[in-house]
Structure 1
Amino acid sequence: MADKKSPFPDSHEDAPSISENPIDRALVVDMEHYQATVPLWKRAWQHSLTQMMLLSIQAFCGPAMSDAITGLGGGGLASPRVSNISTAIRYALLAIVCCFGGPIVNKIGIKWALIIGSMSFPIQGSAYYCNSKFGNEWYLILSGAIGGVGTACWYVAEAGAIMTLAPSGARGKYLALWIVSRNLGQLVGGAINLSKNHEKGVIGGVTSDTFIAFVIIECLALPFALLIKPFEKVVRSDGTKIVTSETLSTKMEIKRIARTMSSKLILLSAFWALWSFFYTGTWTTYLGTYFTVRARALSSLISPFFCIVGCFGLGFILDMKGLSQRRRAQIGLYTVVILNVGVYIWTIVMQVKFNRNDPGAIDWDDKLYPSSFLPYFFVQTTGPLSQSYMYWLLSSFATDAQENVRNGAAFRCIEAVGQAIAYGMNTQTTNNPLIGFCVTFALLGASLLPMIMLVNTTPDRIPADIVAEEQNVAREKISGV
């Protein structure tokens, strides 16, 4: 009796796998047979959208909760200095680990990198709790070091996954889902903040009980990390599989990451990477310096709302079918830059006014609150837009999943260097965020010309899609013979 035909030409049973022969990596699934032979629950689990949702839930539980704590201004502490020191150490180590993150993640796999990272998430929340409750500073600083290593593994795996999972025609929307999940996490965190810190006239740090809720949510990332499937077992919504390459030796992986770090793609995007999250250190210091506890809590609740609309709006622009990929890249770049320039000019004007006349602690019922808070509100949208856009752009150049991991690791490394510098700088300029605002604005200006040069070389089609088509044509020819 003849064997039943598998829906995956290179697989056994129900999941796609990678063969050493590149032609055997058939990248289109026989969906009719797949649906008839694979249980619904397993198809749902292997679906690219499910995997993206699992990743987004982890982003909700981990980085989003971290952002919510940061959104309190100085980590919600009475003085933001220790929080800035801890965060600077965290991003310094994150940068170092990310530098070698590509080889590490490609060796241990996306799933295990996410598991390692998710185990480090609760450490930050618990450290802030101990500092708030007992005045413990050494654990908060140590948590920055531990979190930097663990989060680096998670960030590199996340970057590779978000650039790889989506079908070619839905990358903008998938990235919007990821960004929104991070902001929904901040929304929940903001609700926790406000419920615990809503009394008028309170200055200093938030209540220590605030951090207990964050720790509980951060612990929930681990179970969802365990549900992640390897890339070769994922089936996209359009019936395609993810292009992957053979596992390389450690020596070869290090050579590849060195080549990636010196590639035109990374060199031209380096200033953008340095700038993309540089704003967080200064804007959170601004929030902690000039706003009351309950005003800061309110800010962490309402800041994500506009980001949700903005990210899906950018996603639709980047996925427009009537324009070439290069044209979409150009429109996306100018959209992000114009919005950021407007926010930066507004913020610098406000800070110059504050330097002339110190406003004291601004509460939400003060007349000054709307004009002084709105720049922070909008930067919580324009900042994530720059991240979402850059990952979409990087994925436009990749030939396989492993290259996405390397590109993501390189970008995360430079990005983390920027964050480390920003928070380190703000430990010295706590009472005058104007310096940080001007440096951030200057970095955006420095990044613009190289980014225009890079965007103008964007391929009209994703190289990985072309590789997939060539491999399928080659297989069909062999099958015909």
Structure 2
Amino acid sequence: MSDGQAEIDKLGSGSSEDSGSQRAEIFDRPTGWRGFYYHPITQISLLGFVCFMCPGMFNALGGLGGGGQVNPKDQANANAGVYSTFAFFGFFSGSINNVIGPRKTLMFGTWGYSLYIASFLAVNIHPGAGAFVVASGAILGVCAAFLWTAQGSLMMSYPTEAQKGMFISIFWAIFNLGGVVGSAVAFGLNFKSTANSVGNGTYIGFLILTLIGVFLPLFMADPDKMVRTDGTRVNLVRHPSWKTEFLSLFIALKTDPWIILLFPMFLASNYFYTWQFNDYNGALFTIRARGLNNFMYWTSQIFGSIFIGYFVLDQQKVRRRVRAFYGWALVFLMIFVVHVWAYFYQKTYTRTEELAEGAYKIDIYDSNYAAHVWLMIFYGFLDSMWQTYAYWLMGAMSNDPAKLAVFTGFYKCMQSAGAASVWAADGASAPYMNIFLSTWCLTVAGMIFAAPMVYLRVTDHTDIEDEVLMHIEGVERIEPPLITTTEKA
């Protein structure tokens, strides 16, 4: 019996009254170039490059503080628009993904990033076009909801249960290379700049890369044709009616109410970017220092994700439940390390002081620069560990792409609601200290609320009933796959 079949046997034992009569078919994987193309790692890597080109450039731009502008107000208001529409459409994006399919959902989601970056180029040419930036941000929020929902569904459904941490790490490393490359470009182009804002060349470079990302989903495989490395087929992506799929949102909450305990964690997962990028990096540093800080931040994300995903969450010598608690403890510890450190910097400056004309900005050659950039590096570690752990927890709850699309929609909805609120506060010139303390408190609360879910819901193997959304009586039957023991032919 194959290792993959043994995993199915464990998965199916005791999960339903008739589990002994159900069967899960094990498929032969394709060989040759088709075997390479249809390999889950290849497809996750392509998915990573889609996000490298689009959200990666968005992150590189946002990490410069104020989108690389002298006055960060337009960018803060645009981000409030991004995350407001993101939050609204994120709630429904899982349903839309399940109806039209993840590849189309990805393609629809990418083009908003090109529009957003083009708006900053327009402002650089015509300084009075700030309203265009805000409007493009609202449009981007709609697109981003679809892109990230499709991404989460594919990333968590392609690996086997033993590979989920590794696959999340692979995706996160490639995706954050976008931020690394974008930051390196911005740093190089603006190394000799004294204007404290980026030039047109930076925006044009970012725009070209995002346009490449728009077409990359065309080269990805159809999820219905994907077979995991253990021979199990990825559950076919359903294309039900809109009514059925919208009802599945509430079915998911009813059948898996523990997801609600992750909502505070979801809410915090983009909240901390505002202080890091605008109120620390954007407030204290020169433009070239901001570019180098950004480069170090996204580079550290690669290592942070690999560390927690591969070496902690996928450590096969330890049971999955135990790994879940190891991950929780590491993230919780990192929260206090970076925020205690950051507090001693934050209490030394205010918004009024840093926005004053002629205010001192830390440069890469200053003696106090090294200590400040290390804080950015540790914040990058925290962000990647936080996001990887959140995705891993959702992946531990199901292997079905349709159900995971709904979970990811919830994640992105709550994440964006938190981000919209804090970007709006930053646009309204709230004190830096208030934003910092609210960030610290929310991250701690997110982990505390997640702890009972980890204890009560994470099991050593995903149960059969968690593989799919329960069918909806009287509308359309969404039947679970038949699962049981069978020898590979």
The TM-score bracket by the shorter chain reads 0.7 to 0.9
Deviation at 1:149, TM superposition (A): 1.0
1:353: which partner in 2? 348
Deviation at 1:464, TM superposition (A): 5.4
Are 1:293 and 2:287 matched, yes or no?
yes
**Worse-matched range after superposition: 364-373 or 468-477:** 468-477
1:437: which partner in 2? 436
2:269: which partner in 1? 276
1:204: which partner in 2? 196
Q: Alignment identity in percent?
A: 25
Residue 415 of structure 1 aligns with an amino acid whose one-letter code is Q
Cα deviations by residue, 1:232-254 (Å, 9 ceiling, x for unpaired) = 21122222211347543322211
Deviation at 1:66, TM superposition (A): 0.3
- Supply the distance in 2 between the matched residues of 1:25 and 1:251 (Cα, whole angstroms): 30
1:50-449 → structure 2 map (5 Å cutoff): 50-135=42-127, 136-199=129-192, 202-244=194-236, 246-261=238-253, 263-286=256-279, 287-315=281-309, 316-355=311-350, 360-398=360-398, 400-429=400-429, 432-449=431-448
- Supply the distance in 2 between the matched residues of 1:208 and 1:127 (Cα, whole angstroms): 11
- Are the aligned partners of 1:24 and 1:475 in contact in 2 as well (CA < 8 Å)? no
**Worse-matched range after superposition: 281-290 or 267-276:** 281-290
Deviation at 1:25, TM superposition (A): 8.7
**Worse-matched range after superposition: 49-58 or 222-231:** 222-231
Could you say if the C-alpha distance between residues 261 and 415 of structure 1 is closer, same or farther in structure 2, counting changes exceeding 3 Å? farther
Deviation at 1:429, TM superposition (A): 2.8
- Are the aligned partners of 1:282 and 1:423 in contact in 2 as well (CA < 8 Å)? no
2:12: which partner in 1? none
- Are the aligned partners of 2:93 and 2:145 in contact in 1 as well (CA < 8 Å)? yes
- Supply the distance in 2 between the matched residues of 1:331 and 1:95 (Cα, whole angstroms): 30
SS in 2 for 1:91: helix
- Supply the distance in 1 between the matched residues of 2:39 and 2:120 (Cα, whole angstroms): 37
- Are the aligned partners of 1:429 and 1:435 in contact in 2 as well (CA < 8 Å)? no
Cα deviations by residue, 1:79-99 (Å, 9 ceiling, x for unpaired) = 000000011101100111111
> TM-score, normalized by length of structure 2?
0.86
- Are the aligned partners of 1:82 and 1:141 in contact in 2 as well (CA < 8 Å)? yes
SS in 2 for 1:100: helix
Deviation at 1:176, TM superposition (A): 0.7
SS in 1 for 2:70: coil
1:450: which partner in 2? 449
**Worse-matched range after superposition: 253-262 or 209-218:** 253-262
Q: Which runs of 5+ in 1 are unaligned?
A: 1-21
Deviation at 1:462, TM superposition (A): 2.0
SS in 1 for 2:339: helix
2:484: which partner in 1? 473
Deviation at 1:146, TM superposition (A): 1.4
Which protein, 1 or 2, shows the higher relative CO under an 8 Å CA cutoff with sep ≥ 6?
2
- Supply the distance in 1 between the matched residues of 2:84 and 2:467 (Cα, whole angstroms): 37
What root-mean-square deviation, in Å, do the aligned CA atoms of Structure 1 and Structure 2 show?
Answer: 2.5
Cα deviations by residue, 1:336-369 (Å, 9 ceiling, x for unpaired) = 1111221011112111022498672111111222
- Supply the distance in 2 between the matched residues of 1:24 and 1:107 (Cα, whole angstroms): 27
Cα deviations by residue, 1:49-82 (Å, 9 ceiling, x for unpaired) = 1110110000100111100000111100110000
- Supply the distance in 2 between the matched residues of 1:235 and 1:182 (Cα, whole angstroms): 23
Instruction: Tell me the matched-pair count.
Output: 449
- Are the aligned partners of 2:157 and 2:399 in contact in 1 as well (CA < 8 Å)? no
Could you say if the C-alpha distance between residues 203 and 244 of structure 1 is closer, same or farther in structure 2, counting changes exceeding 3 Å? same
- Are the aligned partners of 1:79 and 1:204 in contact in 2 as well (CA < 8 Å)? no
